[in-house]
Amino acid sequence: MSAEWTPDVERLAAFDEDEWARVERTYAGRLIAYIARRVPDVEARDDVVQEVFLGAVRGIGNFDSKFTFEQYLFGICRNRTIDQMRRRKLVGTGEGGLEDDEAAPPGIETLVQDDDSPSRIVRRTDLHSQGRALLRDALREWVQETWAAGEFTRLMVVEALLRGGWRNRDTWERFGLRDETAVAGIKFRALKKLREIVAKTDETGEIVPSLSQLAEDGDVPIDVATVWTEERVSCPARHWIARSLADALDKDPAEFVALHVDEIGCDWCQANRDDLKRQDDSTLEPLLKAIEASTARFLRSRTIR
């Protein structure tokens, strides 16, 4: 089975058992690897994986094509894992809450001011969604162009600043640059290129100016670092991680993959790496059979009338 296989979402939405079975066998290992870093109990993590796939089946009708299927699946996995961590903490200590890096999102009362009219709220929400999509696509294009051009130092600097939250000083020393002004120059040129890409892809010619105006008013903050991280624009494809493990990458891309996976610590890519490093796939067989049985029951209940 190819590591880069992409599921047919239309077949999944039609509750095709064979397609869902292939999804489960393709993604179960990496989901387990992600959960295992957070949930120590084996039975509990197996339960989480089954919940993930059942949640994916139930929600596939609302799949948003702006995301990859892996993003869709890992988004459910993250939420189910947080639920399990919360339950474990409640049982273990009698106290609620999450770790700092797993904090729940702010309530709606923190997002809407008293003087917001319904039309203003809708306009702001729509612009934020469109602006975020533009920024996501621009960041992906920038990453792909930078990778293709072999500008890996530039890519690693921006990765460290945006995803790692590094300071300029730490960054220039880590990558052997001249001084902090070299970092600032890389950041300036990257942002300039991003503005050009966004302006080119804003077909209406209205979104960028509107976002700029609202940003001046304190509305619609689109954090580049947040989009960079949450949209996984710099995550190397699974086959790049596999080649890295096999020492089959050239020096520069290998350094970027190591930075992204190990130093920056991308959760999803670490899960992919841990899954690829597993020597014995037969260890997953009992879990896969349990997953297939539980999802098959639901799929048949949806297709038999």
* Band of pLDDT at residue 127, cut at 50, 70 and 90: low
* Band of pLDDT at residue 222, cut at 50, 70 and 90: low
Torsion-angle region of 177 (φ positive above 0: left; ψ -120 to 50: alpha; else: beta): beta
Tell me how crowded residue 20 is: count the other CB atoms within 10 A of its CB: 23
> For residue 221, is it within any domain?
yes
* Band of pLDDT at residue 223, cut at 50, 70 and 90: confident
Whether the CB-CB separation of 3 and 238 falls below 8 Å is answered with: yes
The reply to whether 218 and 302 lie within a common domain is no
The reply to whether 220 and 118 lie within a common domain is yes
> For residue 85, is it within any domain?
yes
The reply to whether 304 and 193 lie within a common domain is no
Q: What's 27's domain CATH number?
A: 1.10.1740.10
The average pLDDT across 286-291 equals 88
Residue entry with tokens 């509990």:
44
The reply to whether 76 and 146 lie within a common domain is no
> For residue 145, is it within any domain?
yes
Q: Taking 90 as the threshold, does the pLDDT of residue 124 lie above it?
A: no
φ and ψ at residue 280, rounded to 5 degrees? -120, 100
* Band of pLDDT at residue 166, cut at 50, 70 and 90: very high
The reply to whether 56 and 115 lie within a common domain is no
Whether the CB-CB separation of 272 and 77 falls below 8 Å is answered with: no
> For residue 257, is it within any domain?
no
Nearest alpha carbon to residue 222 among 126, 129, 107: 129
> For residue 246, is it within any domain?
no
> For residue 247, is it within any domain?
no
CA–CA dist 73, 20 (Å, integer): 12
Q: Taking 70 as the threshold, does the pLDDT of residue 1 lie above it?
A: no
Tell me which of 68-72, 200-204, 282-286 is least confident: 200-204
Domain that holds residue 117: 109-234
What local confidence, expressed as pLDDT, does residue 65 receive? Answer: 86
> For residue 97, is it within any domain?
yes
The reply to whether 146 and 224 lie within a common domain is yes
What local confidence, expressed as pLDDT, does residue 130 receive? Answer: 77
What local confidence, expressed as pLDDT, does residue 212 receive? Answer: 62
| 167-214 pLDDT, tens digit each | 998 899 999 999 999 999 999 899 888 888 888 887 777 666 665 655
What long-range pairs does 198-207 form, CB within 8 A, spacing at least 24?
198/134, 198/135, 198/138, 201/134, 201/137, 201/138, 202/134, 207/127, 207/130, 207/131, 207/134
**Residue-averaged pLDDT of the chain:** 82
- Last residue within a domain, chosen from 203, 219, 234: 234
The reply to whether 116 and 223 lie within a common domain is yes
As for how many domains the chain has, the answer is 2
The reply to whether 167 and 200 lie within a common domain is yes
Q: Taking 70 as the threshold, does the pLDDT of residue 100 lie above it?
A: no
Tell me which of 227-236, 278-287, 296-305 is least confident: 296-305
Tell me which of 47-51, 99-103, 123-127 is least confident: 99-103
Which are the contacts of 51, defined by CB distance < 8 A and separation ≥ 6?
80
> For residue 252, is it within any domain?
no
The reply to whether 169 and 216 lie within a common domain is yes
Q: Taking 60 as the threshold, does the pLDDT of residue 119 lie above it?
A: no
CA–CA dist 273, 12 (Å, integer): 26
Burial of 35 (0-12, 13-18, 19+ CB in 10 A): buried
| 34-69 pLDDT, tens digit each | 999 999 999 999 999 999 999 999 999 999 888 889
The average pLDDT across 257-277 equals 95
The reply to whether 221 and 297 lie within a common domain is no
The reply to whether 221 and 113 lie within a common domain is yes
The reply to whether 88 and 13 lie within a common domain is yes
